[in-house]
């Protein structure tokens, strides 16, 4: 076993550009927990969940979606940051996550148009273009968004900066700006969802302005030792949308801005590549990472499909990736990293059945994963639901109940 440990690149520390050292090369990638307390703050369920993940052996933990604006919620059950909020829950969250030596990044996000209509009937977005998923059952799932005004865009950029400052005050090691998977910043980047004719639309430089301004604002506001990560799509996998060549150019824009970690992913709700690749290889965003490596020195975290230790080791040894991001296995095997990294197991798998409709499969899969978070948050062990569809229905009922609470939260003056 000693020889395995000595030769294992997964167990080598990684020093980020700002000097922060991550103990090994495995990261728990972000997954939306959806288990905030009744005031949309971190509570006992989140603390219980992260006490499990703190023991996982991962060098880095990245939280699921944390909202920068009370008016923008990806799912009813997520933590919402706001001015004057009680930071005690955030501080406890960070302390628990770091209790066994992991670093913790708070993923900060705004959903834009990609929020369910029962949560927000008229969401905001770069342009008034609705999420379109094939099938009659999805016709009313998403509302038609309203295009943001210029002053609103500036206000949202500042809210991302404010969120980073709150995370820093609460003791998190850094933040990850979510600009992938079809959420607001990704919507600005895509020519499909951004048809603006002002300084925020048109050329790629204009479409990337929101992300660039967020990154500049955060880097200028926080201390040098506070980590700044960005999650970026390699592509949206939609004809006429955000393509690989666009992503490469955006990475070049980010290169001089003080980004400490760049996470590579892909897809959105309409084309959910983040839920599964082509099936031709295990790590389905690694090919793009090779291209990114040629043009950037920013450490690369590659997330998507990694399951086998040898594949992970090769990705690190070849310098195609600096860190390996793993998501779903943490929902079903929360403490697997020690065994995988030390060679006690070769592969970690999660046997979630696949449904024939890709869109329904994606949403049902996410519901099954969230079920595991609730179970662990209640001190139970993970357990796959007997029926993905029945679990999805229960999750939707729960979501609508939480949505009513969310709307009351807004009426009571959340801002």
Token pair belonging to 62: 């990245």
Residue 170 has pLDDT above 80, yes or no: yes
Q: Which residues are CB-contacts of 34 (< 8 A; sequence separation ≥ 6)? A: 64, 75, 76, 77, 78, 370, 373, 374
When the pLDDT of each residue in the chain is averaged and rounded to a whole number, the result is 91
- Which pLDDT score is estimated for 278? 40
Summarize pLDDT for 237-282 with one digit per residue, the tens: 887 889 999 999 999 999 999 999 999 988 777 765 554 444 446 7
| Fold of the CATH domain 2-411 | TIM Barrel (3.20.20)
Of 302, 329, 295, 296, which is closest to residue 234 (Cα–Cα)? 302
For residues 114 and 116, what is the distance between their CA atoms, to the nearest angstrom? Answer: 7
Instruction: Tell me the pLDDT band of 6, cut-offs 50, 70 and 90.
Output: low
Residue 203 tokens, joined: 């050329």
Please tell me the least confidently modeled range out of 84-88, 140-144, 290-294, 313-317: 140-144
Could you tell me which residue, 413 or 376, shows the higher pLDDT?
Answer: 376
Q: What gap in Å lies between CA 41 and CA 87, rounded to an integer?
A: 9
What integer pLDDT is reported at residue 2 of this predicted model?
37
Asked whether the CA dihedral 164, 168, 169, 171 is positive or negative, the reply is positive
Q: What is the pLDDT of residues 18-51, one digit of tens each?
A: 999 999 999 999 999 999 999 999 999 999 999 9
What are the b/e assignments for 140-161, b being 16+ CB within 10 Å?
ebbbebebbeeeebeebbebbb
What percent of the chain is predicted at pLDDT more than 90?
A: 76
d(CA 258, CA 221): 12
- Is the pLDDT confidence value at 382 over 80? yes
pLDDT digits (tens, 9 = 90+) for 145-155: 999 999 999 99
Run of H or E including 303: strand 300-303
Given a cut of 70, is residue 142 above it in pLDDT? yes
pLDDT band at residue 189 using 50, 70 and 90 as cut-offs: very high
Could you tell me which residues come within 8 angstroms of residue 377 by beta carbon, excluding any fewer than 6 positions away? 33, 35, 44, 45, 46, 48, 49
Residue-range domain boundaries for the chain: 2-411
Output the pLDDT for position 356.
84
- Residue 48's region, left for phi above 0, alpha for psi from -120 to 50, else beta, is alpha
Sign for the pseudo-dihedral over CA of 252, 17, 90, 337: positive
pLDDT higher than threshold 90 for residue 97:
yes
State which of 110-119, 139-148, 171-180 shows the largest mean pLDDT: 171-180
Q: How far apart are the first and last CA of the chain?
A: 55
pLDDT value of position 284 = 81
Calpha distance 235→252 (Å, rounded): 15
Specify whether the CB–CB gap between 33 and 63 falls below 8 A. yes
CA distance 66 to 81: 7
DSSP symbols for 278-296: -SS-SSTTHHHHHHHHTT-
Question: Distance between CA 390 and CA 395 in Å, rounded?
Answer: 9
Q: Kindly indicate the confidence band of residue 52, based on its pLDDT and cuts at 50, 70 and 90.
A: very high
How confident is the model over 365-386, as a mean pLDDT? 95
pLDDT at 239 (0 to 100): 78
Query: What 3-state class would DSSP assign to 300?
Result: strand
Q: Token pair of 383, please?
A: 């357990």
pLDDT digits (tens, 9 = 90+) for 103-136: 999 999 999 999 989 999 999 999 999 998 777 6
pTM: 0.94
Contacts of 386 (CB under 8 A, 6+ apart): none
Using the predicted structure, report yes or no on whether residue 3 has a pLDDT greater than 50. Answer: no
CB 299 within 8 Å of CB 260: yes
For β-strands 14-15 and 21-22, DSSP reports them as antiparallel
């Amino acid at each position: 076993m000693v020889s395995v440990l000595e030769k294992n690149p997964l167990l080598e520390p990684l020093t980020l550009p700002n000097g922060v050292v991550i103990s090994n090369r495995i990261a728990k990638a972000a997954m939306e927990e959806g288990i905030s307390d009744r005031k949309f703050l971190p509570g006992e369920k989140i603390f219980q969940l992260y006490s499990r993940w703190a023991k996982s052996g991962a060098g880095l933990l990245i939280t699921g979606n944390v909202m920068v604006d009370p008016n923008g919620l990806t799912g009813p059950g997520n933590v919402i940051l706001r001015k004057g909020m009680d930071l005690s829950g955030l501080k406890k969250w960070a302390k628990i996550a770091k209790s066994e030596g992991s670093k913790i990044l708070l993923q900060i996000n705004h959903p834009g148009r990609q929020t369910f209509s029962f949560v927000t009937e008229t969401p905001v977005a770069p342009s008034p273009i609705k999420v379109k998923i094939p099938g009659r059952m999805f016709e009313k799932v998403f509302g038609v968004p309203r295009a943001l005004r210029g002053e609103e865009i500036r206000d949202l950029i500042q809210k991302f900066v404010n969120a980073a400052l709150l995370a820093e005050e609460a003791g998190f090691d850094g933040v990850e700006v979510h600009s992938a998977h079809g959420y607001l910043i990704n919507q600005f980047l895509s020519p499909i969802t951004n048809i603006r004719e002002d300084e925020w639309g048109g050329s790629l430089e204009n479409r990337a302005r929101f992300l660039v301004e967020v990154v500049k604002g955060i880097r200028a506001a926080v201390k040098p030792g506070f980590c700044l990560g960005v999650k970026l799509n390699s592509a949206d996998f939609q004809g006429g949308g955000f393509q690989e060549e666009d992503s490469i150019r955006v990475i070049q824009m980010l290169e001089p801005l003080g980004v400490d970690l760049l996470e590579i992913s892909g897809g959105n709700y309409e084309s959910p590549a983040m839920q599964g690749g082509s099936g031709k290889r295990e790590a389905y965003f690694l090919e793009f990472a090779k291209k990114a490596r040629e043009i950037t020195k920013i450490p690369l975290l590659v997330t998507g499909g990694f399951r086998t230790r040898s594949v992970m080791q090769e990705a690190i040894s070849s310098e195609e990736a600096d860190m390996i991001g793993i998501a779903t296995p943490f929902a079903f095997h929360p403490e697997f990293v020690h065994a995988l990294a030390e060679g006690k197991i070769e592969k970690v798998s999660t046997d979630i059945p696949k449904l024939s409709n890709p869109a329904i499969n994606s949403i049902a899969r996410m519901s099954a994963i969230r079920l595991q978070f609730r179970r662990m948050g209640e001190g139970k062990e993970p357990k796959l639901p007997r029926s993905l569809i029945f679990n999805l229905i229960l999750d939707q009922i729960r979501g609508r109940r939480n949505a009513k609470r969310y709307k009351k939260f807004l009426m009571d003056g959340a801002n």
